[in-house]
Amino acid sequence: MNIKRVMIVGTMIVAISFGGTAWGKPALNASPVAKWSATSVADKDDLLKALNQSSDEELYDALYDGKSLMDIAEESGGNIVSVIDLQVSQLTEQLDQRLASGSITRQQYAAQKAELKEIVTQSVMTSFG
């Protein structure tokens, strides 16, 4: 299981589902999951640390039980601001790569980047269970 990918895909699903934003426009040309970069151990450890979780399984179980990242952080003494910052950083890196590869325009990049923190913040409060 790749918890970073689960978090990013969940965030992107929420982002794409918001109508009227640059994320939901058909011109987005979202990259398939298979093209996303591999998770490094450091990124996974950073997420677990921010949520104060001891393992991938502990986090997965909490998500499977329908808890939001906000719920998990509050219950375990984690730092939700760190979770948001980590996700924004990772998604910004992916946007940078997509801009560099030409899969999105500068206008799409600017619009998506401008909304990124708000969308990630909303997604951490949302349960997917």
pLDDT tens-digit readout, 79-99: 999 999 999 999 999 999 999
- The pLDDT value recorded for residue 43 is 58
What type of residue sits at position 101? S
Residues whose CB falls within 8 Å of the CB of residue 9, separated by 6 or more in sequence, listed in order: 33
- pTM to 2 decimal places: 0.65
Give CA separation, 95 vs 1, 54, 128, in Å. 24, 30, 24
Phi, psi of 37 (to 5 degrees): -70, 155
pLDDT tens for the 129 residues of the chain, in order: 455 555 555 554 444 333 334 444 433 434 333 333 444 445 568 999 999 999 999 999 999 999 999 999 999 999 999 999 999 999 999 999 999 999 999 999 999 999 999 999 999 988 866
- The pLDDT value recorded for residue 128 is 67
- The pLDDT value recorded for residue 3 is 57
* C-beta separation of 99 from 109 below 8 A: yes
